[in-house]
C-alpha cells in the first residue's frame, strides 16, 4: 500500500474516521494509514469508491489488502514495502493491479510515505491510491495504434492486396496511365489521362502534390509525405509515397505512387493523445493537491502534538502557562477545522451540489472584528485596521461568510511584506434590489498580474507570480469564496496592480 501521508486530527474516533473519509473524497482517492508493528490499518478511506467494498466487508490488515492485489504484482509490492522497512527509501510510487469487488482488475497508482521514530525505525506508512485504469488503457491503445501504423508500411508494398491503398502510375507530364482503387469518389475511367489539377477541388492541393512528383522525376529519389486534400466538403489526409517509374533501360518514364487514407487513423491518434494528456493532467493535479493538503493538514497537527508535550511540562508549573498553551492549540484546531470544512465544500460543489446555507441574523461587523483580532495574533508583524459602523446586520450564513473573510485576510497577509497594512472597510449602501453590505479588504502586497485577473476566482487557479514560488496554496480559497458569495446573491471582485497591492470587494444583499 502507498500514497501521500494523511494523519487524522485528535478527537473522537468516529469523527476522525468520518473526516478522514471526507478528506479522501475531496481528493478523489483512497487514503490509508498502516501501523507497521501490528500490520493493521489504522485508517482507510475511499475503498468503497475505488474497489466497491462496503466498510463492513473490509478487514483493516495488510493481509487483506495483499489478497486484493493481482498475484503477478504481489511480489513487486512486497519488495517495495521491504525497501521502506529497510530504510532504503522513504517514499515510493508504485503501479499495480487490484481486484474490484465485482471481479474486474483495476490499475492503481500507489504513493507511499514512511514515518519513522527517532531511531529511524519504520513506524507507519501513510499514502493514497488513485485509479489510473483509463490512463493505462489509453497508453495501451495508443501503443497498439502506433504498432498498427508501423505495420501499414508493409501494406504500402503490397498495395494491390489492400482495398484501402490507392496505387497509380503517371507519365512525365503527370497524366494518369494506370490506377488501382481510385480515391475521392472517382472511377478509373474518370482518372486515366487526367492530371491532378483536373481532379482536385483546390488548385493549391494539385500544385503542391505535382511539385513533389516533379522533384522525384528530377532527382530520381523517391519521397514519402503526408498530404491534405479537400474533397466533397471535407479535408482528407493521405500518406503519399512517390517513387520514380523506370523502364527496362532504367530510364525514368514517370512516377509510381501509393496513397493510403489516414484521416480516421489520425483522428483516433489525436483522440487517444488527448485522452492520455487529460489523464496525466488529472494525476498531476491530484498529486499537487494531495501534497498541498497533506502539508496544510500536518502543520496544525504537528503544532497540536507539540502543544500536548508542552502542556505536560507546564502542568506542574503554572496554570496560566497551561491556559496559554490551550489557547494556541485551540487556534490550530480552528485552522484545521476550517480547512476540512473548505475541502468538504469543494467536494460538494465540484460534485454538482449547491451549498446549503444556514442563514441567521448576523452582525457582520462583529464577525469582521473577531477574525481581524485572530489574524493579528497569528501575524503580529502585520498591521490591521478596520473602518466600520458599530452594527451592520443581515441574514447570512455566518460560518461560511467567516470563511470568505478568513481567505481574504489570509491572502492579504501571505502576499504582503512584513509590516504591511491590511485595511478592512465595511459599510451599508443602496443596491438595485435593496440595501447591501460592502466589504473591502486591501493590502500592500505583490498584487495580481493583469493576465491572471479574469481567472483568479477559478478552481485551482493561482497567479503566475506565486504559482511556482515559496508561498503554498491550493487555489481553492477564492473559488470557494466566490461560490459562497454568489449563493448569498452577492458578488466578489478584485482591483489590483502588480507590485502595488490588491483590493478585494465583496457585495452582499442584507437579505
93 or 353, greater pLDDT = 93
C-alpha cell at 57: 466487508
Split at pLDDT 50, 70, 90, the class of 379 is confident
Q: Using the structure block, give the residue that is written with the C-alpha cell 483536373.
A: 198
Residue 206: pLDDT band with limits 50, 70, 90? very high
- What does the pLDDT average to over 387-391? 94
CATH of domain 163-261: 3.30.450.20
Q: How far is CA 135 from CA 9, 26, 109, 281, 354, in A?
A: 34, 21, 11, 10, 30
E strands, 364-420, where? 383-387, 393-396
Please state, in angstroms and rounded to a whole number, the distance separating the CA atoms of residues 293 and 342. Answer: 11
Phi, psi of 354 (to 5 degrees): -80, 150
Number of CB atoms found within 10 A of residue 416's CB: 20
Comparing CA positions, the residue from 87, 95, 106 lying closest to residue 47 is: 106
CA distances from 285 to 46, 318, 461 (A): 18, 48, 11
**The pLDDT value given to residue 125:** 92
Is residue 72's pLDDT more than 80? yes
- pLDDT category of residue 458 using cuts at 50, 70 and 90: confident
Where residue 468 falls among pLDDT bands split at 50, 70, 90?
very low
Three-class secondary structure assignment of 62-115 = HHHHHHHECHHHHHHHHHHHHHHHHCCCCEEEEEEEEECCCCCEEEEEEEEEEE
Report the share of the chain in percent with pLDDT over 70.
74
- Give the SS3 label for residue 405: helix
Question: Where residue 16 falls among pLDDT bands split at 50, 70, 90?
Answer: low
Per DSSP, the chain holds a count of helices (H) and strands (E) of: 13, 17
Please tell me the predicted confidence (pLDDT) of residue 384: 95
Q: How far apart are CA 462 and CA 141, in angstroms?
A: 34
CA–CA gap between residue 494 and residue 463 (Å, rounded): 13
* Count of Cβ atoms closer than 10 Å to residue 250 Cβ: 8
* Positive or negative: CA dihedral 83, 85, 87, 90: positive
Are 29 and 116 spatial neighbours (Cβ–Cβ below 8 Å)? no
Round to whole Å and give the CA distance between 197 and 209. Answer: 10
User: Hey, is 253 helix, strand or coil?
Assistant: strand
**How far apart, in whole angstroms, are the C-alpha atoms of residue 507 and residue 28?**
33
360-509 fold: Heat Shock Protein 90 (3.30.565)
Check: CB of residue 216 under 8 Å from CB of residue 242.
Answer: yes
pLDDT at 12 (0 to 100): 45
Residues of the chain with CATH 3.30.450.20: 13-137+271-350, 163-261
Contact 165, 153 (CB under 8 A): no
Nearby residues of 339 by Cβ (< 8 Å), 6 or more positions away:
296, 297, 300
257 to each of 221, 225, 254, 345, how far by Cα in Å? Answer: 13, 11, 10, 62
Confidence at 23, pLDDT banded by 50, 70, 90: low
Compute the average pLDDT of residues 121-126: 92
In terms of C-beta density within 10 A (0-12 exposed, 13-18 middle, 19 or more buried), how is residue 320 classed?
A: exposed
Return the H-helix or E-strand segment holding 225.
strand 223-231
The residue assigned the cell 466600520 is 388
* Buried residues in 488-498 as b, exposed as e (16+ CB within 10 A): bebebebebeb
Please compute the mean of the pLDDT values over residues 387-400 and round it to a whole number.
92
Average pLDDT of the residues of the chain: 81
Q: Sign of the CA dihedral 414, 416, 421, 423?
A: negative
What's the N-to-C CA distance of the chain in angstroms?
A: 51
Instruction: Give 294-333 pLDDT, tens digit per residue.
Output: 555 656 665 666 666 666 656 656 666 666 666 666 666 6
pLDDT band at 466 (very low <50, low <70, confident <90, very high): low
| Main-chain phi, psi angles of 481, to 5 degrees | -60, -45
Quote the CA–CA distance of 340 and 297 in Å, as a whole number.
8
Q: Are 294 and 6 in contact (CB under 8 A)?
A: yes
Q: What is the per-residue pLDDT across 486-509, written as a single tens digit (0 to 9) for each? A: 989 999 999 988 888 999 999 999
Q: To 10 degrees, the CA torsion angle through 141, 144, 145, 149?
A: 170
Confidence of residue 154 (pLDDT cuts 50, 70, 90): low
CA 376 from centroid of its chain's CA atoms: 34
Q: CATH 3.30.565.10 spans which residues of the chain? A: 360-509
> Grid coordinates 493535479 are at which residue?
285
- The percent of residues above 90 in pLDDT, for the chain, comes to 39
Asked if the 13-137+271-350 domain carries CATH number 2.70.98.70, the reply is no
- Summarize the confidence of residues 80-91 as an average pLDDT: 90
How does DSSP assign 287-303, residue by residue? HHHHHHHHHHHHHHHHH
What residues does 32 pair with on adjacent strands? Answer: 44, 127
pLDDT for 9 beyond 50: no
Amino acid at each position: 500500500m502507498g500514497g501521500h501521508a494523511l494523519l487524522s486530527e485528535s478527537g473522537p474516533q468516529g469523527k476522525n474516521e468520518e473526516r478522514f473519509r471526507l478528506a479522501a473524497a475531496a481528493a478523489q482517492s483512497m487514503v490509508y494509514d498502516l501501523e507497521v508493528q501490528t500490520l493493521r490499518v489504522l485508517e482507510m478511506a475511499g475503498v468503497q469508491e475505488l474497489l466497491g467494498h462496503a466498510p463492513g466487508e473490509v478487514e483493516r490488515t495488510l493481509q487483506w489488502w495483499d489478497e486484493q492485489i493481482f498475484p503477478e504484482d504481489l511480489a513487486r509490492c512486497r519488495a517495495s514495502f521491504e525497501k521502506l522497512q529497510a530504510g532504503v527509501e522513504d517514499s515510493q510510487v508504485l503501479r499495480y493491479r487490484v481486484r474490484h469487488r465485482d471481479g474486474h482488475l483495476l490499475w492503481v497508482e500507489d504513493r507511499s510515505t514512511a514515518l519513522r521514530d527517532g531511531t529511524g525505525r519504520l513506524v507507519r506508512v501513510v499514502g493514497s491510491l488513485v485509479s489510473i485504469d483509463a490512463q493505462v488503457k489509453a497508453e495501451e491503445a495508443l501503443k497498439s495504434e502506433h504498432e498498427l501504423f508501423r505495420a501499414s508500411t508493409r501494406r504500402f508494398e503490397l498495395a494491390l492486396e489492400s482495398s484501402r491503398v490507392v496505387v497509380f502510375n503517371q507519365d512525365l507530364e503527370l497524366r494518369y496511365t494506370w490506377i488501382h482503387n481510385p480515391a475521392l469518389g472517382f472511377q478509373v475511367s474518370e482518372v486515366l489521362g487526367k492530371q491532378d489539377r483536373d481532379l482536385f477541388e483546390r488548385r493549391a492541393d494539385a500544385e503542391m502534390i505535382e511539385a513533389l512528383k516533379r522533384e522525384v522525376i528530377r532527382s530520381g529519389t523517391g519521397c514519402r509525405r503526408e498530404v491534405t486534400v479537400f474533397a466533397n466538403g471535407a479535408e482528407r489526409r493521405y500518406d503519399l509515397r512517390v517513387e520514380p517509374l523506370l523502364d527496362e533501360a532504367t530510364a525514368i518514364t514517370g512516377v509510381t505512387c501509393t496513397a493510403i487514407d489516414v484521416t480516421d487513423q489520425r483522428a483516433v491518434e489525436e483522440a487517444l493523445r488527448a485522452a492520455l494528456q487529460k489523464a496525466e493532467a488529472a494525476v498531476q493535479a491530484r498529486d499537487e493537491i494531495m501534497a498541498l493538503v497533506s502539508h496544510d493538514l500536518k502543520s496544525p497537527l504537528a503544532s497540536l502534538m507539540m502543544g500536548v508535550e508542552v502542556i505536560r511540562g507546564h502542568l506542574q508549573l503554572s496554570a496560566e502557562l497551561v491556559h496559554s498553551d490551550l489557547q494556541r492549540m485551540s487556534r490550530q484546531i480552528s485552522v484545521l477545522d476550517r480547512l476540512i470544512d473548505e475541502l468538504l465544500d469543494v467536494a460538494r460543489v465540484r460534485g454538482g451540489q449547491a451549498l446549503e446555507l444556514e442563514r441567521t441574523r448576523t452582525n457582520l461587523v462583529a464577525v469582521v472584528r473577531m477574525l481581524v483580532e485572530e489574524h493579528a495574533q497569528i501575524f503580529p508583524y502585520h498591521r490591521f485596521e478596520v473602518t466600520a459602523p458599530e452594527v451592520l446586520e443581515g441574514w447570512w450564513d455566518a460560518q461560511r461568510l467567516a470563511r470568505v473573510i478568513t481567505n481574504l485576510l489570509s491572502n492579504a497577509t501571505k502576499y504582503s511584506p512584513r509590516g504591511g497594512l491590511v485595511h478592512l472597510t465595511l459599510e451599508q449602501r443602496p443596491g438595485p434590489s435593496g440595501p447591501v453590505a460592502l466589504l473591502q479588504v486591501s493590502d500592500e502586497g505583490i498584487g495580481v498580474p493583469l493576465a491572471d485577473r479574469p481567472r483568479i476566482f477559478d478552481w485551482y487557479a493561482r497567479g503566475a507570480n506565486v504559482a511556482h514560488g515559496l508561498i503554498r496554496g491550493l487555489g481553492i480559497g477564492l473559488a470557494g469564496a466566490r461560490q459562497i458569495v454568489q449563493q448569498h446573491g452577492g458578488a466578489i471582485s478584485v482591483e489590483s496592480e502588480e507590485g502595488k497591492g490588491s483590493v478585494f470587494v465583496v457585495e452582499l444583499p442584507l437579505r
